[in-house]
Amino acid sequence: MPKSSKSTPNSSRPNAIVALPVALIEHVLGRALFKRLKTAEPPTTAVLIKVPSESWCDVLESCLTRQLDRVEIRSFKHSNRSSSRNSAATELLNTLGSGVSTIAISATPATAISEEYHSMTDQVFEIESLDVGVIRKVIRQVTGQRPKGLKQIDLLSVGVHEAMAAIGAGNSAQDCVERLRRVRARKLAPVELSHVPTLSRLPLTIPVREWTDMLMADLARLDAGEIAPSAIRFATLDGPPGTGKSLLAASIAKSSGWKLHSTSVQEWFNAGDGHLGAVTKACANFVEILLSEDRSIGFIEELQSIPDRGRLEAKGRDWWMPVVDGILIQIDRVRHSGKKVLLLGACNHYSLLDPALIRPGRLEMRITVMPPSSHSEAEKFVRFYIGDRLLEPDIQVIVNLAIGATPAKIEAAVRSAEARARQEDRPITLEDVTRIFFSDDGLDDEQIQRLALHEAGHAVVALRLGTAVHSVTIIPYGESAGSTKMHLASRAPTADEVEDMIVIQLAGRATDELFGGGADSGASADLAFATRLLGDARNNWGLYGRLAAREQLFSSSQGASDPSLEDWIETKLRQLMDRSREMVTENETAIRVLAARLVKVKILHAGAIRETIDQTCASPAKD
């Protein structure tokens, strides 16, 4: 008995791979044109179809080739060689010349297809996205059931291949709908925020903290129905790279319970295979996502990539005008939607933004996100990234290094230090972190040692003379290779206090002479300070017997040199230099110990300096 073939309920129905491209073509071309092309009825027609991306080209070309065997069909991709594209265009022109209709398919027809074919084109059609009516029709054809509840928004960002797979794998019409919605949801899912700290934990500078407090209060009022969505002011986060603008936006979303959707202007430019017209379309899709949800935050990075039209030349302005206008229209669309949506932009160069982009009603508030500029701000960032993995004195050393450093640099320093310690199977140390911050500008070990001795000489002599030392570092800053910060005498010093100050300033040079291989030009700033201070003390402050203030006797234009003053200063400086050498010699051990510590950690604060010096048990400090 012959084996019978058992039919399934769907055996007579088309599959999605066939049905969807056909439905798309019929929808785009229209039934009348599609029928005429299929039967090759006159007149001969040249058609151009613009698709959303190059991934559509092969799908439609295969379908049209099967359905329209009397039409010459070619797809044009930028990924193909220009010679190949030119050859295909020539073939289409020759086909037209022989009386046969043609169809060209491309995502970027303006640049991928020759001008000659453009000039012969009779009709141009554009597929912007999957049409919900087409998808409903295909689902009915494939499943025999009517889909319910499918909306155009459910197809946002769903590609043609994904649609064919979702419909083909569906067991029922509603299963197809749910699969399509899952594709959209996964592609357009809000940013995952589980790893993001809340604003209460995130270290922020004072101005940014004040703004976030105000914003969070407004969002709470909006959720409570006390204010309208129009009361929420959109903002631009401005600041150099690495200051944490993206993290700030994510933290706002997590703290408020709103969903975060992130994009960038560069992503818009990359949409649609680089075609400029796709930029505004990508922006519109992003806005569509925001408006499809309740309580959403849209974060747009790289705003400076949108040019200021006022700075463009006429040709560039004509090219950019519709793109920038399209983006501004989408921002206005959010503002006037009445939906709970907050727009935040980010840029590195605020001065480059188009004024229309940041005018009132658009991204109007400028929130400058900068690196920590004070000890208290830097301490918040350091504690956030390093936690309790170091002792308190070590944390304070890193805080001093972190002032002015971006959060990204602070985090990178800690992560690199962790990696180093992990490789050696030991806990993280202060030296692991400081070596990341320290830039020696090409100094060799001997030069670093000399620099450390020089600064240690200042610090030790200052402490021995009763002057408080706040910090000492060999980290370059500006034109200075290192520095010692101390609390000098009062604004009205005595002659003894002036001389102590000068001895401290000369201690670096004395250390260079005695332990560092000889004096060099690095002490020029110290000598200039000592000379100026001693001259003021004698000529203007009356501390050395002279009562007439020289600055009152001579104007700046009469600044003739005074040989007697110069000789007196030189003699006095030599005396104070001898005193400085004596103190450096007496405290050699303390200076060398402090210098060795500096070479390791690069910077020391007051407590660590005092502790290091006290361990050497040198002479007692002066009261």
CATH number of the domain bearing residue 408: 1.10.8
pLDDT band at 87 (very low <50, low <70, confident <90, very high): confident
Average pLDDT, the chain: 84
Residue 391 belongs to some domain of the structure: yes
- Whether residues 276 and 348 share a domain: the answer is yes
The number of distinct structural domains making up the chain is 4
Domain holding 509: CATH number? Answer: 1.20.58.760
Distance CA 462, CA 73 (A): 87
Span 29-55, pLDDT tens digits = 998 898 888 888 889 999 999 888 778
Is the predicted pLDDT of residue 563 greater than 80, yes or no? Answer: no
Domain holding 268: CATH number? Answer: 3.40.50.300
State the average pLDDT over residues 53-67.
Answer: 86
Residue 298 belongs to some domain of the structure: yes
Residue 170 belongs to some domain of the structure: no
Distance CA 587, CA 514 (A): 12
- Whether residues 60 and 100 share a domain: the answer is yes
Q: Which one has a higher pLDDT value, 312 or 477?
A: 312
* C-alpha distance from residue 98 to each of 91, 102, 367, 421, 478 (Å): 11, 11, 65, 76, 76
- Whether residues 361 and 225 share a domain: the answer is yes
Angle, helices 55-67 vs 16-29, to 10°: value is 90
Is the predicted pLDDT of residue 18 greater than 80, yes or no? Answer: yes
- Whether residues 543 and 431 share a domain: the answer is no
Identify the domain containing residue 527 by its residue range.
Answer: 445-614
State the average pLDDT over residues 391-398.
Answer: 84
- Whether residues 428 and 523 share a domain: the answer is no
Distance CA 147, CA 176 (A): 8
State the average pLDDT over residues 207-211.
Answer: 95
* C-alpha distance from residue 108 to each of 49, 78, 168, 265, 530 (Å): 10, 8, 29, 19, 72
CB 128 within 8 A of CB 158: no
CB 382 within 8 A of CB 402: yes
End residue of a domain, out of 368, 386, 415: 368
Is the predicted pLDDT of residue 554 greater than 50, yes or no? Answer: no
Q: Which one has a higher pLDDT value, 252 or 274?
A: 252
Residue 555 belongs to some domain of the structure: yes
- Whether residues 512 and 582 share a domain: the answer is yes
Is the predicted pLDDT of residue 623 greater than 80, yes or no? Answer: no
Is the predicted pLDDT of residue 142 greater than 60, yes or no? Answer: yes
Distance CA 474, CA 434 (A): 11
- Whether residues 469 and 601 share a domain: the answer is yes
Residue 173 belongs to some domain of the structure: no
Q: What is the pLDDT of residue 488?
A: 64
Q: What is the pLDDT of residue 39?
A: 87
Burial class (CB in 10 A: 0-12, 13-18, 19+), 352: middle
Residue 609 belongs to some domain of the structure: yes
Burial class (CB in 10 A: 0-12, 13-18, 19+), 514: middle
Distance CA 610, CA 604 (A): 10
- How are strands ordered across the β-sheet holding 46-50? 72-76, 102-106, 46-50, 123-126
The dihedral built from the CA positions of residue 432, 436, 438 and 444, taken in this order, carries a sign that is positive
Q: Which one has a higher pLDDT value, 24 or 188?
A: 24
Q: What is the DSSP annotation of 463-526?
A: HHTT--EEEEE-S-BTTBS-EEEE----SS--HHHHHHHHHHHHHHHHHHHHHSSS--GGGHHH
- Whether residues 49 and 112 share a domain: the answer is yes
CB atoms within 10 A of CB 424: 10
pLDDT band at 618 (very low <50, low <70, confident <90, very high): very low
| Chain length of the chain | 623
Is the predicted pLDDT of residue 213 greater than 50, yes or no? Answer: yes
Q: What is the pLDDT of residue 154?
A: 84
Q: What is the pLDDT of residue 3?
A: 41
Residue 79 belongs to some domain of the structure: yes
pLDDT band at 137 (very low <50, low <70, confident <90, very high): very high
CB atoms within 10 A of CB 235: 21
- Whether residues 423 and 525 share a domain: the answer is no
Span 334-375, pLDDT tens digits = 999 999 999 999 999 999 999 999 999 999 999 999 999 888
Q: What is the pLDDT of residue 619?
A: 45
Find which of 285-294, 299-308, 389-398, 613-622 is predicted with most confidence, using mean pLDDT: 299-308
- Whether residues 419 and 475 share a domain: the answer is no
End residue of a domain, out of 107, 126, 145: 126
Span 284-311, pLDDT tens digits = 889 988 888 889 999 999 999 888 888 8
End residue of a domain, out of 437, 459, 479: 437
Is the predicted pLDDT of residue 316 greater than 80, yes or no? Answer: no
Q: What is the pLDDT of residue 79?
A: 65
- Whether residues 465 and 571 share a domain: the answer is yes
- Whether residues 428 and 489 share a domain: the answer is no
Residue 413 belongs to some domain of the structure: yes
